[in-house]
């Protein structure tokens, strides 16, 4: 009967590196399964080819890309604080396996699928909380407490507590990053056990409990195919975008029929351009974008807010890319950056940051418009909307009388 032995590690722990080596010595596995996918394995082995800059810009998934870089930066920052390169325990497992001619199996799900499911699965509130937490961590507002990484990796109660807190913080995010990967890793390890007597699994400490639970009750494992495809969700981006367009059009119609005058209607349209444009341009500047990129965001934001298929950030990113001229070598610079300030100086990072924040500014501009347009115009919304609606109904009714 085959045997699966798990080594739970912290990805930035010196003790975890030694524990991996010790487990290989004591267990003598036939195969070593590591918590990596092909892309991350190639990166560790320095065999991977960096993505093309054009692919990043054409993909349009700027928020997901930025989130991936931010999470990697924070992990790297923790690693620097404890003097360990992130993923050192995986490198140790690879080196030991190669030295002993033990086969290596890549047991984790493709990072692109994980991040896509992570980002798409989270609610808007979860995304806002996560962005705030990441911003606070990057800005150094995490408090003065030191995190004992070694203790965290070895103390099951602390690990479970940390996972429980993450589930409370972001239930949908935790499902994609932890729960689904528990199942994926369990599938990989069980599949390996069918052809090998001894399987050593090197995984993050946070996955051990979930994987072990699936080993005890394999019938609870979700189907493998359900873990590797993007979940079918309602296209909220287009639904919300369409709702804003309908609200704007309906608002203009009601103002027009309310009798307040053509001048008010014209100013309502002018403020749509100004509020959307100013916030999109301002957030582009906050991102460190070039003035021409901010001007681009300003000029297109009013239009992109009326078309859910377009985004102000795309156009701002194109302008920024033409000015900054990002290169393929920028990917390595982003990986090696030791501070957020250093990362922001990299052209490619700045282009992606400009795109993401310009989109945020444009969205906030649309929301701000509907909140403040009536006070800005100096008109009573209840009177305008009620009169406008009554007059509109009367006008439409005249066609049937």
Q: Residues near 157 by Cβ (< 8 Å), separated by ≥ 6?
A: none
| pLDDT tens track for 52-95 | 777 777 776 777 788 777 777 766 665 545 444 556 778 888 88
- Strand order of the β-sheet with 3-9 is 3-9, 198-204, 31-34, 104-106
Mean per-residue pLDDT for 248-267? 90
Share of the chain above pLDDT 70, in %: 86
Is residue 122 over pLDDT 90? no
Which run of H or of E encompasses 200?
Answer: strand 198-204
Distance CA 395, CA 346 (A): 58
Alpha-carbon distances of 393 from 44, 277, 326, 385, 388, rounded to whole Å? 67, 33, 55, 12, 9
Alpha-carbon distances of 360 from 195, 349, 364, 365, rounded to whole Å? 50, 16, 6, 8
Is residue 6 over pLDDT 80? yes
Residue 61 burial (10 A CB sphere; 0-12, 13-18, 19+): middle
Q: Which of 35, 9, 38 is nearest to 23 (CA)?
A: 9
Is residue 169 over pLDDT 90? no
Q: Residues near 46 by Cβ (< 8 Å), separated by ≥ 6?
A: none
Q: How far apart are the first and last CA of the chain?
A: 85
CB 30 within 8 A of CB 290: no
Helices 347-377, 291-304: axis angle to 10 degrees equals 50
Q: Which of 254-268, 282-296, 340-354 has the highest mean predicted lDDT (pLDDT)?
A: 282-296
Q: Residues near 135 by Cβ (< 8 Å), separated by ≥ 6?
A: none
- Residue 144 has a pLDDT of 46
| pLDDT tens track for 345-356 | 899 999 999 999
Of 78-92, 124-138, 141-155, 189-203, which range is least confident? 141-155
Of 24-38, 71-85, 174-188, 381-395, which range is least confident? 71-85
DSSP, collapsed to helix, strand or coil, labels residue 399 as: coil
Is residue 48 over pLDDT 70? no
More reliable by pLDDT, 9 or 7: 7
Is residue 327 over pLDDT 70? yes
Is residue 117 over pLDDT 80? yes
More reliable by pLDDT, 69 or 327: 327
CB 201 within 8 A of CB 4: yes
Distance CA 153, CA 174 (A): 18
């Amino acid at each position: 009967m085959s045997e699966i032995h798990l080594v739970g590690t912290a990805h930035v722990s010196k003790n975890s590196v030694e524990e991996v080596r010790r487990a290989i010595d004591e267990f003598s596995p036939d195969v070593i399964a590591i918590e990596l996918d092909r892309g991350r394995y190639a990166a560790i082995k320095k065999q991977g080819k960096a993505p093309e800059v054009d692919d990043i810009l054409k993909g349009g998934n700027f928020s997901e890309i930025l989130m991936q870089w931010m999470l990697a930066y924070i992990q790297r920052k923790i690693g620097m604080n404890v003097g360990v390169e992130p993923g050192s325990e995986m490198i140790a497992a690879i080196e030991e396996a190669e030295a002993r001619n033990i086969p290596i199996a890549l047991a984790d799900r493709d990072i692109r699928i994980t991040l896509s499911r992570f980002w798409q699965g989270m609610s808007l509130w979860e995304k806002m909380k996560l962005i705030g937490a990441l911003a606070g961590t990057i800005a150094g507002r995490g408090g003065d407490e030191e995190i004992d990484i070694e203790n965290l990796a070895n103390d099951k109660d602390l690990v479970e507590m940390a996972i429980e807190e993450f589930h409370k913080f972001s239930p949908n995010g935790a499902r994609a990053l932890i729960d689904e990967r528990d199942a994926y890793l369990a599938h990989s390890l069980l599949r390996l056990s069918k052809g090998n007597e001894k399987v050593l699994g090197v995984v993050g400490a946070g996955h051990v409990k979930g994987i072990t639970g699936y080993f005890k009750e394999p019938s609870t494992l979700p189907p493998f195919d359900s873990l590797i495809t993007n979940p079918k969700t309602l296209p909220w981006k287009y639904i919300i975008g369409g709702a804003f367009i309908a609200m704007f059009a309906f608002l203009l119609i009601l103002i027009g029929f309310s009798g307040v005058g053509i001048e008010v209607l014209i100013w309502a349209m002018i403020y749509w351009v100004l509020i959307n444009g100013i916030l999109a341009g301002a957030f582009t500047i906050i991102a460190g974008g070039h003035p021409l990129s901010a001007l681009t965001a300003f000029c297109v934001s009013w239009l992109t807010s009326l078309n859910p298929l377009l985004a102000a950030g795309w156009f701002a990113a194109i302008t920024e890319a033409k000015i900054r001229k990002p290169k393929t070598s920028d990917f390595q610079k982003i990986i090696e950056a030791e501070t957020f300030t250093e990362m922001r100086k990299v052209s490619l990072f700045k282009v992606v940051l400009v795109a993401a924040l310009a989109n945020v500014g444009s969205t906030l501009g649309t929301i701000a418009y509907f909140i403040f347009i009536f006070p800005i115009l100096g008109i009573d919304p209840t009177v305008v909307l009620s009169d406008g609606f009554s007059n509109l109904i009367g006008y439409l009714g005249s066609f049937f009388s």
